[in-house]
């Protein structure tokens, strides 16, 4: 007789029992990368191995996901059988560097993480004054976009987290041919401080290929461009801005917003998300007609996640550290949200369970467990991540089978 498993989950909008035949279960595996340890695809493969040790006949679907931050590029390239490319770009401090970007397997979609062209992690920690949002530029992001255009890509997924910049995408715009001039007719130099001198915006030189594009921007903050909740005040200090610099940058972004509204009709100052990445969110909408959306939703739509949920009995997800921050649009919550809409239970298998992780149970994750099976260092866990994930998944499957025996066949 087939094992039957009864899930009983109370205290949420979904009330059970649901009854499943484990031999015929359809399980969707949708983890994100365990940062610094193992890719999302390899996590998914390890989970599949764990399932197959106990449920040989279960139908398993692998759908590795991401949330628009670290690992998004690799995840989307891997799942689409795409390719990692590289481009020579201008770094945030004006230095020349090579940045990777992704060409998805559809031959049409490019994936770019602006952190790889204009990110804070690219700025040396020492001396501390190297972090200078007055001068940091997004010019390299524009160069990466241009490289993808050169290879025929007309759909873009751009993650904008982790920026070193506060220039509202001015550098990016200039790299793509947009002219930003001061009152003397001179092109503005790099950096957010220069926006105080902006007098005119001219789109006539914009690369015409950019006007043919669909551009999705992974944006997980709702901050406006200026003011006490704006780009400079909230994110400027982590980029090296002093209180005086924050005020200077906020005024410069205010002038930028006024000129952009007057010259090209884009009213972005109070737009939700305009302040993301030092105003890059607003700049991408104004200059390129981009659409801002939560990163995890962009990724889930791109991989057509919902179609995998059809007929699914269980979803497995996970990330390196499941904690109270996970509920802020991290990939496991995006996965759980969509599964919950179809009354599909979700179990998270993660590297660690951090402070406040129980809150995920209020957001669609029915149960969670961590992979270490003994006291061990992070280095040991990372080195053995695949085996630990497989074993943890196998144990979860065994628990389901025990539940079936306890609650009745």
**So what's the architecture of 4-65+306-407 in CATH?**
3-Layer(aba) Sandwich (3.40)
d(Cα 17, Cα 8) in Å, to the nearest integer? 5
Nearest to 129 by CA among 232, 248, 240: 240
Reported as half-sphere exposure (CB side, CA atoms, 13 A), residue 51 has a value of 25
CA 264 to chain centre: 29
Domain chopping of the chain, boundaries: 4-65+306-407, 72-296
Structure tokens, 326: 């996970």
Place 404 in a pLDDT band, splitting at 50, 70 and 90. low
d(Cα 236, Cα 158) in Å, to the nearest integer? 21
DSSP code, position 255: H
- The confidence score (pLDDT) of residue 127 equals 63
Q: Is residue 365 within 8 Å of 339, Cβ to Cβ?
A: no
**Each residue's pLDDT tens digit, 150-184:** 999 999 999 999 999 999 999 999 999 999 999 99
Q: What is the CATH number of domain 72-296?
A: 3.90.1510.10
> What are the φ and ψ backbone dihedral angles of 97, each rounded to 5 degrees?
-155, 170
**Each residue's pLDDT tens digit, 196-228:** 999 999 999 999 999 999 999 999 889 999 999
- The confidence score (pLDDT) of residue 129 equals 64
Find the angle CA(21)-CA(26)-CA(32) to the nearest 5 degrees. Answer: 135
Q: Which residue bears the tokens 């399980």?
A: 27
Place 130 in a pLDDT band, splitting at 50, 70 and 90. confident
Cβ-in-10-Å burial (0-12, 13-18, 19+) of 241 comes to: buried
Give the three-class secondary structure for 357: helix
Place 4 in a pLDDT band, splitting at 50, 70 and 90. very low
User: What Rg do the C-alpha atoms of the chain give, in angstroms?
Assistant: 23
**Each residue's pLDDT tens digit, 56-106:** 889 999 999 999 988 899 999 999 999 999 999 999 999 999 999 999 999
d(Cα 119, Cα 137) in Å, to the nearest integer? 10
Cβ-in-10-Å burial (0-12, 13-18, 19+) of 312 comes to: middle
């Amino acid at each position: 007789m087939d094992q039957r498993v009864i899930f009983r989950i109370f205290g949420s909008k979904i009330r059970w029992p649901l009854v499943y035949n484990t031999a015929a279960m359809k399980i969707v595996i949708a983890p994100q990368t365990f940062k610094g340890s193992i890719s999302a695809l390899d996590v998914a493969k390890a989970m599949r191995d764990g399932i197959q040790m106990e449920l040989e006949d279960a139908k398993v679907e692998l759908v590795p996901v991401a949330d628009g931050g670290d690992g998004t590029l690799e995840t989307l390239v891997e799942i689409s059988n795409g390719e990692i490319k590289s481009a020579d770009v201008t770094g945030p401090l004006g230095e020349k560097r090579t940045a990777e970007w992704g060409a998805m397997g559809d031959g049409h979609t490019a994936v770019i993480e602006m952190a790889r062209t204009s990110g804070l992690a690219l700025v040396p920690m020492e001396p501390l004054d190297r972090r200078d949002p007055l001068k940091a530029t997004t010019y390299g992001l524009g160069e990466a976009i241009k490289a993808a255009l050169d290879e025929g890509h007309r759909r873009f997924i751009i993650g904008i987290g982790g920026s070193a910049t506060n220039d509202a995408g001015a550098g990016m715009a200039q790299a793509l041919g947009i002219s930003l001039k001061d009152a003397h007719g001179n092109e503005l130099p790099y950096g957010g401080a220069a926006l105080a001198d902006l007098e005119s915006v001219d789109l006539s030189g914009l690369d015409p290929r950019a006007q043919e594009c669909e551009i999705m921007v992974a944006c997980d903050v709702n901050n406006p461009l200026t003011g006490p909740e704006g780009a400079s005040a909230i994110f400027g200090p982590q980029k090296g801005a002093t209180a005086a610099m924050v005020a200077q940058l906020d005024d410069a972004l205010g002038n930028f917003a006024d000129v952009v509204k007057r010259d090209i009709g884009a009213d972005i100052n109070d737009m939700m998300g305009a302040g993301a990445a030092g105003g890059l969110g607003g700049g991408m909408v104004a200059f390129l007609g981009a659409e801002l959306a939560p990163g995890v939703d962009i990724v889930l739509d791109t991989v057509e996640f919902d179609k995998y949920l059809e007929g699914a009995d269980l979803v497995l997800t996970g990330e390196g550290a499941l904690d109270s921050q996970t509920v802020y649009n991290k990939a496991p919550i995006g996965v759980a949200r969509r599964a919950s809409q179809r009354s599909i239970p979700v179990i998270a298998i993660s590297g660690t369970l951090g402070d406040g992780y129980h809150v995920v149970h209020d957001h669609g994750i029915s149960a969670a467990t961590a992979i270490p099976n003994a006291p061990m260092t992070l280095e040991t866990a990372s080195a053995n991540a695949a085996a630990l994930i497989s074993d943890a998944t196998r144990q979860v499957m065994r628990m389901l089978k025990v539940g079936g025996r306890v609650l009745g066949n």
